[in-house]
Amino acid sequence: MEPRPLWLHPHRLQVPRLALRRRLTALKGGVSRPATWRHRPISFLCYILSVSALRPLACRVALYRSFPTRLLSRAWGRLNGVELPTWLRKPIYSLYIWTFGVNMQEAAVEDLHHYRNLGEFFRRRLKPAVRPLCAASCLTSPADGRILHFGRVKNSEVEQVKGVTYSLENFLGPQKRQCKDSSSSSSFRDDILSSPDSDLFHVVIYLAPGDYHCFHSPTDWRVELRRHFPGSLMSVNPGVARWIKELFCLNERVVLTGQWQQGFFSLTAVGATNVGSIRIYFDQELQTNTPRYSKGSFHDRSYIADQTVKFAGEGGVTLQKGEAVGEFNLGSTIVLLFEAPKDFSFNLQPGQRIRVGEGLGSL
């Protein structure tokens, strides 16, 4: 009797397919299930990075990092500024709304014909009443988005996603050392704390493309310094952040540092792919995503006694809780690093959705 053809033994073909599927699932760090239409772009990116399930991780990361993300982002920024014909606005914006789940009922202007270009639509303002401030919390969310990680800063390392860390010193850059008796042996984390009774905490909030793109002051504080790090513009989606260590240190970012009632405070806006610009409302000199920059460089601007900065006084720029601070051209990430008493507690869950003005924690 002749042996049956291989195609009549489907189980023999399913084994390697199943093994490859499991490996791709492990590489993406998720559960194997069909992706919804609105999540397919990032699923496709993860697939491209893992297509070489046969290549080492370092090769895939190097391939992705070689993409001209800054050039693409500048081109996208220019495209966002192109005025659309009135008849074309509603179809394009409606497609975007459907794809990313935008809630236009919260927008100050719901009429899609009002937005002349994609940039205006991305940076749409909200109705005043839809983002009330939590009066019971000393610290509120600066943006709409998803909580990626939060907690105490340990060993001067911060987690960008679970299990993947980056250096606090590389992220913030050099800081003025506090006056301590044993400062020579203290860590970078200890150097920026003003009191031995305090600890350093962090919160990472990811803004998706469909989220509200402006960010606000999370508390009453005083901004003393703006530090701009030119850099890459790789995606900050959690799926990509698991692959690239110190992604937040490699990407372009604007770090605002200063003081609040508990000591050190900083808010960092991290750029990403297709984020043509990061804008700070009170600093008109800031220019992001410029064509050329020196790797590892940064540019400082002190707001202390700088009379050219609007709202700046002898101690810097004073911000009130909930006050608008700046905006992204598209979704990205906000990182808060702040000093607080050791008994500070977060009222958060990893992965939860959060909106501007909702409480982050309490003393």
Active site residues: 144, 216, 332
**Cα separations in angstroms, 330 against 119, 225, 226, 236:** 8, 24, 21, 12
* φ and ψ at residue 129, rounded to 5 degrees: -85, -10
Region at 268 (left for phi over 0; alpha for psi -120 to 50; beta for the rest):
beta
- In angstroms, rounded to a whole number, what is the distance separating the alpha carbons of residues 349 and 361? 11
Of 322, 172, 356, 199, the C-alpha closest to 256 is 172
- Read off the amino acid at residue 224: E
- In angstroms, rounded to a whole number, what is the distance separating the alpha carbons of residues 308 and 324? 20
Radius of gyration of the chain, Cα coordinates, nearest whole angstrom: 23
* φ and ψ at residue 353, rounded to 5 degrees: -80, 145
Residue 299 β-bridge partners:
228
Beta-strand relationship, 198-206 and 145-152: antiparallel
Q: How many CA atoms lie within 13 A of 121 on its CB side?
A: 30
- In angstroms, rounded to a whole number, what is the distance separating the alpha carbons of residues 62 and 296? 18
- In angstroms, rounded to a whole number, what is the distance separating the alpha carbons of residues 240 and 65? 11
- In angstroms, rounded to a whole number, what is the distance separating the alpha carbons of residues 355 and 353? 7
- In angstroms, rounded to a whole number, what is the distance separating the alpha carbons of residues 347 and 360? 6
Region at 263 (left for phi over 0; alpha for psi -120 to 50; beta for the rest):
left
Query: In this structure, what token pair is assigned to residue 199?
Result: 């600890």
Query: In this structure, what token pair is assigned to residue 190?
Result: 């200890």
In 10 A of CB 162, how many CB atoms? 14
